[in-house]
Amino acid sequence: MATLRVELVAAEQAVWSGEAKMVVAKTVEGEIGLLPGHEPMLAILASGEVRITLESGEQIKASAEDGFLSVENNVVSVVARQAALI
């Protein structure tokens, strides 16, 4: 099964990176769910929670404020001014 390579970074540090089967994030246009094979896109983050679902079903949660997320070739990059695991 295909997976997503996820990079979650804040201005000062890398917060989390790894393989996942789904990412859900809040953008200025609403909440978006990303699965392997998603079309390339660039979106502006809204302050809120980012949920990363691992292949095992475990969920990683982080808060993220101000930034963007990009998707291309099953790589999801979430770049935020502030981000931390919760």
Interatomic CA distance for residues 82 and 45, integer angstroms:
11
User: Minimal CA–CA distance to 15: which of 56, 58, 60?
Assistant: 60
Task: Provide the CATH number for the domain around residue 69.
Answer: 2.60.15.10
> What band does 74 get if pLDDT is binned at 50, 70 and 90?
very high
Q: What is the pTM of this model?
A: 0.93
CB-based contact 81:11 (threshold 8 Å) = yes
CB-based contact 55:69 (threshold 8 Å) = no
CB-based contact 42:58 (threshold 8 Å) = no
> For the segment 7-64, what is each residue's pLDDT rounded down to a tens digit?
999 998 999 999 999 999 999 999 999 999 999 999 999 999 999 999 999 999 999 9
- For the chain, what is the domain count? 1
Average pLDDT over residues 68-82: 97
Q: What confidence score (pLDDT) does residue 35 get?
A: 97
Q: Residue 42: helix, strand or coil by DSSP?
A: strand
- For residue 63, give its domain range: 4-85
For residue 1, is pLDDT > 90? no
